[in-house]
Amino acid sequence: MTEGSPARRRPGPRSMLVLRIVVSAALLALVASKASNVDDAIPDQHHGLTILLLGGAVLTALVGVGLSAWRWQRVLLLFDVRVKIPALFSHYVVGLLVGNVLPSTIGGDVVRVARASNTLGSSEVSFGSVVLERLTGFVALPLLVFAGFAIRPSLIEHAHAWIALVIAVVTLALLALILFLAGHPRLAGRFAERGSWVRFIGAVHRGVERMRREPRLIWPVLGTALIFQVSQILMFGLIFRALDLDVPVAAVIAFCPAVLMLQVLPISFSGLGVREGALVLFFHSFGVSNTQAVAAGLLWWGCMIAVSMLGAPAFAVGNRHSSHKVSKEHA
């Protein structure tokens, strides 16, 4: 850069948020433009059953958040910290509120880290536990994809089925790479005792190293992660049934995890547009119209919004000092 020339400014958080909202709007508009008839999303009969099924989807989303808090509690044991589930549940729903409802420049996981830091008394442990809790989901989701194809091998003959398998394999490969880097003593391990911001990388290393030294601690974490992801798949199943869509159970198990993996790509707001487009991609060959796929995606998001509203009171109060008891455990 020559003297006197203006410095190049990188896009700030607000610019990135605006860009993600624009991407979501564009993707939704693209999918909606190919929708044939809005009436496709309204079942012809069984309106009472439809309401009941949608209520079941909301309840399943609520149970899923409880399972997420349980999974987070299991991860915290890797750091010899025990926190009661109600405290973690409160932090989780606030994170969902920010991530799914509020157009904020910070993500829901960032809010969880900040609020949990107050409860745990350690920002490093909070960061490490949230990162590892997230990563466990990317073990369970690919396994569910493979399970769906194992239940019904003929699914591979459907259009775009191979994409779901590719997503699952790539996700596992990336996860393996991340865990290798995080667990390597000469890579992430050298930050374990450092100060400044690199100590957060060291916290993730300590959690991974603990799992490596004590494999018995992995199974409760993976078990709770699998149960949670099954609840997310069940939500899609209930919504498909509410829309009177005759989608095979095996297809829901095989393809919905791929949808969930795609929607976390940081290119849209709350997965909007990406999720609906993925549903069109995977379920069109099962007779699901574009309109129905968009409706299913928006209803899934609506269920999450309904549950995340439970975090509104805690969000309004702010991140005050938590009174929840935290105990240290020593292996």
pLDDT of residue 20: 78
Residue 62 has pLDDT above 50, yes or no: yes
For residue range 125-148, list pLDDT tens digits in order: 888 888 888 888 888 999 999 999
One-character DSSP codes across 164-209:
HHHHHHHHHHHHHHHHHHHH-TTTGGGGTT--GGGHHHHHHHHHHH
Residue 299 has pLDDT above 90, yes or no: yes
pLDDT of residue 105: 42
Share above pLDDT 90 across residues of the chain, in percent, rounded to a whole number: 38
CB 252 within 8 A of CB 144: no
Q: How far apart are CA 177 and CA 245, in angstroms?
A: 38
Among 265, 224, 276, CA closest to 107: 265
pLDDT of residue 66: 93
pLDDT of residue 37: 65
DSSP code at position 303: H
Confidence of residue 1 (pLDDT cuts 50, 70, 90): very low
For residue range 238-280, list pLDDT tens digits in order: 999 999 898 999 999 999 999 999 998 888 888 888 999 999 9
Q: Model pTM?
A: 0.83
pLDDT of residue 2: 46
Residue 279 exposure: Cα atoms within 13 Å on the Cβ side: 35
pLDDT of residue 216: 85
Confidence of residue 64 (pLDDT cuts 50, 70, 90): very high
Confidence of residue 12 (pLDDT cuts 50, 70, 90): low
Among all chains, which residue has been given the structure tokens 């915290």?
76
Q: Which whole number is the average pLDDT over 36-60?
A: 79
